[in-house]
Amino acid sequence: MNALSFHPPDAAQPPQAADEAVVRFEGVAKTFAARGRQTAVAALEDIDLTVRRGAILGVIGRSGAGKSTLIRLVNGLEKPTAGRVLVDGTDVARLPEKDLRQLRRSIGMIFQHFNLLSSRTVYDNIALPLEIAGASREDIRQRVDPLIELVGLADKRSRYPAELSGGQKQRVGIARALATRPKVLLSDEATSALDPETTRSILDLLATINAELKLTILLITHEMAVIRGIARDVAVIDNGRIVEKGDVFDLFTRPRHPTTRTFLAAESGRALPAYVAERLTERAGPGSQAVLRIIFRGSHATDPVLSQITRTFAIDVNILGGTVDAIAGRPFGTLIVAVPDEADLLKRVTAFLTARGLDVEALGFIALEADRASAPAAQNEGGHSHVA
Ligand SMILES: Nc1ncnc2c1ncn2[C@@H]1O[C@H](COP(=O)(O)OP(=O)(O)OP(=O)(O)O)[C@@H](O)[C@H]1O
């Protein structure tokens, strides 16, 4: 039996269209009022964002960008100063306290520091939301046992948090968040305290839960690796505003906003190899070549364009760096090349590549002969040159 099959789609809910919004931000602003010496803080402005049913939406932003505030608006821990936050069509800020408590039960949440109760075992931590909701012992057992299986902690059910690794603690956090069969899972930097391998396994678990249980996930993070590891849709938040949003593949391969580019700078392929970055100049110099970044997307990722350029233009192409990777399951490649800086050659090569569906960025110029030329020069300075 599939470990997840115990959890059919919530029978209490009518069937809903896949593109329907589970969470919707409509023109949301949040300002924290001035207090004492502190001036007012505009934490969020003009936020329009939709989390579709069954989707995984990642929101990425730097520290202080407004991510936590965004998530706290969803479960009513904060109220917007302007606009509305709707969960399944209900305006969260307008709910009376009793209904808000009810709504919170339908929203699961996982945290960076897990927030487990140290005096409770794995089983009892997962059972806690059900106890609070007044479920019977038997109902709790029937719900918690398969959840422990689901997150792979069957052999740890009577252990205490102090006896678990970070990844295991987060698995408990995930099982606890699922206990009340939420319609949406909010993930607040849930993998930030974990090493890359454990992060991978937690993201895999979340992806499985999303796929098998059709659970909608809104996750916030400051790590592009998390976005590329799990999200299909992404919004970039900067200074309280959404500066770019869309499909993860498009955003990774065609970032438009400088903040997005900054996040991507360390990503494979986009970062220039150090030896290129150090020598790159804005203007052409004697003997320099033009440096291009060629971006291959989707079906073009494996096109043999270098040999085509070499043949078509009868030139040599120097490869300075490159990677081929997959993002959201689609191939994506980057090549950094140098071509002769001659007359309108650059323009013609760019047009040739663009016509074949590739993106081309002119990065600057590089003098590849500089190393060979500089060695004798250095010797000359020391007065030991054997070069005539
Ligand atoms: N209760 C509060 N009172 C006053 N200002 C606040 C409050 N909560 C958040 N802020 C401010 O709002 C802005 C956004 O904060 P928020 O915690 O949402 O950012 P974040 O992106 O989650 O950052 P981090 O990743 O560091 O947690 C920050 O300038 C923060 O100082």
pLDDT at 369: 66
Cα dihedral 228/234/236/237 (nearest 10): -120
CA distance 295 to 308: 16
Atom of ligand 1 lying closest to residue 72 CA: 18
Residue 377 has pLDDT above 80, yes or no: no
pLDDT tens, position by position, 194-227: 999 999 999 999 999 999 999 999 999 999 889 9
CA distance 188 to 236: 15
- Which CATH number is 278-371's, of 3.30.9.10, 3.40.47.10, 3.10.20.30, 3.30.70.260? 3.30.70.260
> Could you say which DSSP state residue 33 is in?
P
Residue 306 has pLDDT above 60, yes or no: yes
pLDDT at 269: 58
Residue 21 has pLDDT above 50, yes or no: yes
Mutate to test the pocket of ligand 1, among 32, 72, 112 (most ligand atoms within 8 A of CB): 32
Number of H helices, E strands in the chain: 13, 14
Task: Annotate 130-178 with DSSP letters as a single string.
Answer: HHHTT--HHHHHHHHHHHHHHTT-GGGTT--GGGS-HHHHHHHHHHHHH
CA distance 150 to 141: 14
ipTM attached to this prediction? 0.95
pLDDT at 5: 36
331 confidence band (pLDDT: 50, 70, 90): confident
109 confidence band (pLDDT: 50, 70, 90): very high
For the chain, the domains span 21-265, 278-371
pLDDT at 378: 35
User: Residue whose CA is closest, atom 30 of ligand 1?
Assistant: 64
CA distance 51 to 104: 17
Query: Residue 70 C-alpha to ligand 1 middle, in angstroms?
Result: 10
Query: Residue 42 C-alpha to ligand 1 middle, in angstroms?
Result: 9
Percent of the residues in the chain that have a pLDDT greater than 90, as a whole number = 61
21-30, 109-118, 139-148, 255-264: least confident range: 255-264
Average pLDDT over residues 141-163: 96
Residue 12 has pLDDT above 80, yes or no: no
CB-based contact 171:165 (threshold 8 Å): no
CA distance 188 to 114: 10
CA distance 267 to 56: 21
Scan for tokens 């140098």, then name that residue.
338
243 confidence band (pLDDT: 50, 70, 90): very high
Pairing outcome for strands 21-32 and 41-52: antiparallel
Pocket lining for ligand 1, CB < 6 angstroms: 32, 41, 43, 61, 63-69, 222
Q: 21-265 in CATH: which number?
A: 3.40.50.300
pLDDT at 16: 52
